[in-house]
Structure 1
Amino acid sequence: MQGVFNYWEFLAGIGLFLWGMSQLELAIKELAGNSFKNILHTYTDKAWKGILVGTLITAILQSSSLVTLMVLAFLGGGMLHLRNALGVVLGANLGTTFTAWIVATFGFKISVADFAFPFLAIGVMTYFLNNSRPFLKNTGVFLLGFGLLFLGLDYMKLAIDTYASAVELSAFREYGLWWYLVLGVVVTAMIQSSSAMIVIVLSGVNAQVIGTDHALSMIIGANIGTTFTLILGAVGGTADKKRLALANFGFNFLTGIFCFFWIDQLIFATIYVFDLRDPLMELVLLNSLINGLMILGFFPFLSPLEGWLKRRFRSDIPKGSSRFVKNVPLDLPSVALIALEKELDGVLKDTLKLVWKIIHKHKGPKKDASVWRKITFQPKNLLQDYQQLKDLEVELFQFVLSLQEKNLSPEEANRLSEMTHTLRLLVVGAKEFKDVVHNLKEMEDATEPFVGEVLADLQGEVKDFLTVFEEYHRLEKKDVLILKTVEEKLKSNYSALIHSLYSHLRNKKTDVSISTLANVIQQVFSGLGLIWEGIGSMQKIVPAELEKR
């Protein structure tokens, strides 16, 4: 009926548009998600690179939410500095304007439905006929999402074009630009898509329901309203999530309010400088310029802003012994695995430090202490170091159990299994040393020279082991032959030391029993062997594309 706004057609258009965008996001994530994660991981060592990468990835994925999720994962995993993460967020705000350019260029100048139907038909057929082939299946989802996006646009455009005189937006004209700004904020916060809101605005401008200044006010509101998605996600979240949400809101709010007071000047400058007469192209250009001004305005202040944000939300820093995994969301298993790998690097270093302290720097009881005190001697600081290692092991195993519940690929499941095995090797290796602390002190206090020689040999063995590890660790390309050589050397040195022990003390009595000495030798070499096996196991964990990160 003429004069009545067809809300159902309009809402159906919004629904199809949002669904199409979600399908596009899903398909691109499956088709090239790992590539984008690697780009984000590799090329964000500088804030300006973060801006470029954030713009590029968001323009392709058309999902600032997905990009933000990646940023949070890398930030929490210690693979991205907060300053550079802020750069990615700034770039994401610019990249998300790409949809508006596509819509303004094609959406109102061709028969959108005719354009969408071939994508829908090919996409559906590709999806159903190739359901067992992931690449073709995801290609079908991509085409389907693209078709739905433009079909939704067609419904919105028709609903507004046909019944333009009844659209409620015009009722706000008498209230001034503030109402349009607030409307843009509220509607975008409700539908949680600035791209959909901008398409609605472009449809209104195309139907001449609202003017350029009112439309730009709504677009500014949309840029502010879209930050509420991250704000809602930050409620009850980690400190990093709250910091990013606060920064993103600050970027868009401050820039939006500044530009709102200069709307007329911005519109005039766009017409004068770029000589644009198409209101749709003028609006999308203004939208990009506003986000460009945001980047220029905040980029010089990212370092002080990083320091200010790090002082916020300290009470929301997750509890636990881990350095990285406690901050990493499990939504991106591949990134969570990288964070777990970094934790293993820390576990290895802590294990080697503990071994060195046990074998070289243990402080025993005084000489006049009781025999029982000497026998049961366990230095408090060494026990605390070992307990911290155990607490970290428990926390990492809990993280592994949570990660196993996610939809892991076979490759990711194998990596997780290798990491779990490596973690256990390192901690058990540390335990071998922890269990002989009192025996080492007993050997140190012995009067028999040969016992002192055995202790010196063990200390030398550990020193040589750490030297070899440092040399091996510095190698860009790890050689499996080195691993095997060290394993053989440990076995050979163990046999030689045990043979020497029995040769010297077969018929002698000492203040340290031969069984105690043999046990210490066995546990020291066992501990070194387990740790070295763990080092070798870590080389199987790192995927080829991340070895040079």
Structure 2
Amino acid sequence: MGEFKFWMFLAGLGIFLFGIYMLEDSIEKLSGKAFKRMIRRYTSNSFRAIGSGVFATAILQSSSAVSLMALAFVSAGVIGMSQAVGVIIGSSLGTTITSWLVASIGFKVNIEAIALPFVGVGGLGLIFFGKTTRYTQISRLLVGFGFLFMGLDYMKESVELISAGFDPATLKSFGLWAFILSGLVLTAIIQSSSATIAIVLSALYGGLISFEQGSAMVIGAHVGTTVTVLLGSIGGNIQKKRVAAAHLFFKLTTAIIAWILLPVLVYLSMTIFHFENEPVLALAMFHTLFNVVGILIFAPFILPYTQAIEKIVKVTPTNIERHVQKLDAEVPEGAVGSFGIELQRLHRLVIHYNTGVWSVDANLIVQLEPEDIEIVGETKPGSEAQYQLIKQLYENLLAYSVRLHRLSLQQEEADKLNHYLSSMRLAMNSVYSMQEAREYVGELESSSNPLIKTYFHRYRKNLLEFYSLIIKETHSELSVVEIGEEFQKIKQKIKDQDEEITHAGFQDIKDARIEQRHLLRLLSAQRSYYQSCRQAANAIREYLLSKTITEAH
């Protein structure tokens, strides 16, 4: 047996996890509407998702890489859990292509040939496109994908002497269970079922093990791939952990079925498909057959399967969930009133996030209360972490509102709740729009062109004035008509500012004071900024209209 290279393994694990992080982060920042539509289209139903998993694995020659990509897409909110499970199930069949290649032509995947181009092209992209956000994120995605493979390669290389010195024939006296266990452990260590299967095929070809023993090792290798995905879910959100669990249960179930049907599958592989004299090809057929059986069993039940996983892998309540769970939804009047208080909290957090994106001190506009701080913690205003917490609060309040709708509400309370829900939805849409603007804000702020920085500070000044104005309106006692008039003025003002900046931008490019690429970034930021402010104004208007209902009734 060879030497275990600890530091190489640790470096490989670090590079692997860093690659996962870069992959997820870049996917999240790249996942605009068009990108999400494309991915969702190819995974829109169970069979499409499975087909995508088969195809992607056949191309990349790594079910682990495809499964990790599915984890990244789930974490970034691009696809749902059932779609990711479909992709993962498909990837298990796609990986049999490697078995056929190894068995038929002795093909061996060179991970360096995959990793180095990704890292090289992505690294150069980060240097040359450093100030162009979209291309920067594409470059980070390439580097992340390359690091993912490179980390796997380091981990495999760190233990390759161990695997090279492993002789499956030494297990002959222990029975088939020992072969299953060895296939599992070997795959978990070297992070590649393909490498394990190559070892098994070599041993089978050399007559060191029987076909049944080789089949048992392939079953073990099938389960061993789950370790890579479990590693990829480390530090992830609950959806990632659920997908990793779904992957584990699928692999375990398929392995158990393959074990139970082992005599039948061996007979089919050797006799029905006429591979009696080609045990290596017969083993590739065995690998394919039990994966097909697994897919046929799971494919019709992906949705109930994912629902069962969601019940098994439960969410540990966060500060937000514990906070919302304290609200009483049993007494209608008090429940709607509590919802109104939480809506005001959401508004404060939205203001802090939206202004934080533009580096405006929201404390100049509105102070957070102690319970607000408990929800967002020490997260930086305008950061991705704060965005996720606000989104989580919104989702929990939305779930709470469903409970309220089941109550027998008086007409007054029902009308008020409808205004609250409309206000909450508009406030969150405002955050979504500002999240899109965040992509361009960094470029404006760090631009070497003084004129672009002038635009950036102009946005900040307008944003401070806008939120100061609508907060002032929340403390006013206005009638329905007055609310309509005041907010029409506010929306007209932000529209005028939008047109002024757009006109100034075109004039500056006409006078050659800024480049066309700067104008495109400026207009993209302006569009999202304007939409966010308009939605925020409408959110506050809906909240103020809710306050007039008692008087109207």
Bin for the TM-score computed over the shorter chain: 0.5 to 0.7
Confirm or deny: 8 A CA contact 2:437 2:528 kept in the other structure: no
Structure 1 residue 87 and structure 2 residue 98: aligned? no
C-alpha distance in 2 between matches for 1:435 and 1:534: 20
Instruction: Describe the SS at the equivalent of 1:52.
Output: helix
Structure 1 residue 284 and structure 2 residue 242: aligned? no
1:104-127 deviations in Å (ceiling 9; x for gaps): 22217xxx8xx98xx98x999999
**Which residue number corresponds to residue 546 of structure 1?**
none
Could you tell me which runs of 5 or more consecutive residues in structure 1 were left unpaired when the two chains were aligned. 1-6, 161-165, 322-378, 404-410, 445-454, 469-482, 490-529, 539-549
Instruction: Describe the SS at the equivalent of 1:436.
Output: helix
Instruction: Describe the SS at the equivalent of 2:208.
Output: coil
Q: Which amino acid aligns with 2:91?
A: A
> What is the percent sequence identity of the aligned residues?
27
Confirm or deny: 8 A CA contact 1:104 1:281 kept in the other structure: yes
C-alpha distance in 2 between matches for 1:265 and 1:222: 20
- Of residues 420, 436, 459 in structure 1, which corresponds to 2:484? 459
Structure 1 residue 439 and structure 2 residue 479: aligned? no
**Which residue number corresponds to residue 331 of structure 2?**
none
Confirm or deny: 8 A CA contact 1:83 1:306 kept in the other structure: yes
Aligned positions of 1:250-261 closer than 5 A: 250-261=249-260
Does the C-alpha gap of structure 1 residues 311 and 439 become closer, same or farther in structure 2, counting only changes over 3 Å?
same
Aligned positions of 1:315-394 closer than 5 A: 315-316=315-316, 320=320, 384-391=342-349, 393-394=352-353
Q: Which amino acid aligns with 1:435?
A: K
Deviation at 1:388, TM superposition (A): 1.7
**Which residue number corresponds to residue 199 of structure 1?**
198
Confirm or deny: 8 A CA contact 2:270 2:279 kept in the other structure: no
Does the C-alpha gap of structure 1 residues 83 and 205 become closer, same or farther in structure 2, counting only changes over 3 Å?
same
**Which residue number corresponds to residue 535 of structure 1?**
531
**Which residue number corresponds to residue 219 of structure 2?**
220
Q: Which amino acid aligns with 1:102?
A: L
**Which residue number corresponds to residue 309 of structure 1?**
309
C-alpha distance in 1 between matches for 2:314 and 2:462: 34
Does the C-alpha gap of structure 1 residues 387 and 233 become closer, same or farther in structure 2, counting only changes over 3 Å?
same
1:471-520 deviations in Å (ceiling 9; x for gaps): xxxxxxxxxxxx9689569xxxxxxxxxxxxxxxxxxxxxxxxxxxxxxx
C-alpha distance in 2 between matches for 1:397 and 1:291: 47
**Which residue number corresponds to residue 356 of structure 1?**
none
C-alpha distance in 2 between matches for 1:129 and 1:76: 25
Confirm or deny: 8 A CA contact 2:265 2:289 kept in the other structure: no
Confirm or deny: 8 A CA contact 1:51 1:89 kept in the other structure: yes
C-alpha distance in 1 between matches for 2:123 and 2:77: 38
C-alpha distance in 2 between matches for 1:292 and 1:238: 31
1:47-76 deviations in Å (ceiling 9; x for gaps): 221111122222223343443333234324
Deviation at 1:459, TM superposition (A): 0.7
**Which residue number corresponds to residue 96 of structure 1?**
95
Deviation at 1:278, TM superposition (A): 2.1
**Which residue number corresponds to residue 248 of structure 1?**
247
Deviation at 1:263, TM superposition (A): 1.6
C-alpha distance in 1 between matches for 2:467 and 2:303: 40
**Which residue number corresponds to residue 452 of structure 2?**
none
**Which residue number corresponds to residue 39 of structure 2?**
40
Deviation at 1:248, TM superposition (A): 1.1
Does the C-alpha gap of structure 1 residues 458 and 486 become closer, same or farther in structure 2, counting only changes over 3 Å?
farther
C-alpha distance in 1 between matches for 2:246 and 2:124: 43
Deviation at 1:204, TM superposition (A): 1.3
C-alpha distance in 1 between matches for 2:281 and 2:460: 57
Does the C-alpha gap of structure 1 residues 207 and 399 become closer, same or farther in structure 2, counting only changes over 3 Å?
farther
Instruction: Describe the SS at the equivalent of 1:202.
Output: helix
Q: Which amino acid aligns with 2:269?
A: T
Deviation at 1:81, TM superposition (A): 2.3
C-alpha distance in 2 between matches for 1:303 and 1:202: 36
C-alpha distance in 2 between matches for 1:178 and 1:275: 27
**Which residue number corresponds to residue 400 of structure 1?**
383
C-alpha distance in 2 between matches for 1:186 and 1:465: 65
Query: What's the RMSD between the two structures over aligned residues?
Result: 5.7
Does the C-alpha gap of structure 1 residues 424 and 256 become closer, same or farther in structure 2, counting only changes over 3 Å?
farther
**Which residue number corresponds to residue 296 of structure 1?**
296
Instruction: Describe the SS at the equivalent of 1:439.
Output: coil
Q: Which amino acid aligns with 2:244?
A: A
- What is the aligned residue count? 376
Does the C-alpha gap of structure 1 residues 130 and 42 become closer, same or farther in structure 2, counting only changes over 3 Å?
closer
C-alpha distance in 1 between matches for 2:464 and 2:95: 46
C-alpha distance in 1 between matches for 2:384 and 2:121: 36
C-alpha distance in 2 between matches for 1:252 and 1:381: 44
C-alpha distance in 2 between matches for 1:265 and 1:60: 30
Could you tell me which runs of 5 or more consecutive residues in structure 2 were left unpaired when the two chains were aligned. 128-138, 322-336, 354-375, 387-435, 446-455, 501-525, 535-553
Confirm or deny: 8 A CA contact 1:238 1:318 kept in the other structure: no
Deviation at 1:535, TM superposition (A): 1.1
**Which residue number corresponds to residue 51 of structure 1?**
50
Deviation at 1:440, TM superposition (A): 2.9
**Which residue number corresponds to residue 186 of structure 2?**
187
Does the C-alpha gap of structure 1 residues 62 and 317 become closer, same or farther in structure 2, counting only changes over 3 Å?
farther
C-alpha distance in 1 between matches for 2:218 and 2:474: 68
**Which residue number corresponds to residue 355 of structure 1?**
none
C-alpha distance in 1 between matches for 2:84 and 2:211: 34
Q: Which amino acid aligns with 2:383?
A: V
**Which residue number corresponds to residue 69 of structure 1?**
68
C-alpha distance in 2 between matches for 1:269 and 1:189: 29
Instruction: Describe the SS at the equivalent of 1:311.
Output: helix
C-alpha distance in 2 between matches for 1:315 and 1:127: 36
Does the C-alpha gap of structure 1 residues 251 and 386 become closer, same or farther in structure 2, counting only changes over 3 Å?
same
Instruction: Describe the SS at the equivalent of 1:256.
Output: helix
Confirm or deny: 8 A CA contact 1:167 1:209 kept in the other structure: no
Aligned positions of 1:408-419 closer than 5 A: 414-415=439-440, 417=442
Deviation at 1:532, TM superposition (A): 8.3
Confirm or deny: 8 A CA contact 1:198 1:222 kept in the other structure: yes
Instruction: Describe the SS at the equivalent of 1:456.
Output: helix
Does the C-alpha gap of structure 1 residues 57 and 130 become closer, same or farther in structure 2, counting only changes over 3 Å?
closer
1:6-31 deviations in Å (ceiling 9; x for gaps): x55999xx99xx99xx9xx99xx89x
Q: State which drifts further: 297-306 or 211-220.
A: 297-306
Q: Which amino acid aligns with 1:456?
A: V
Deviation at 1:280, TM superposition (A): 2.0
C-alpha distance in 2 between matches for 1:107 and 1:70: 27
Q: Which amino acid aligns with 2:94?
A: G
Does the C-alpha gap of structure 1 residues 260 and 37 become closer, same or farther in structure 2, counting only changes over 3 Å?
farther
Instruction: Describe the SS at the equivalent of 1:48.
Output: helix
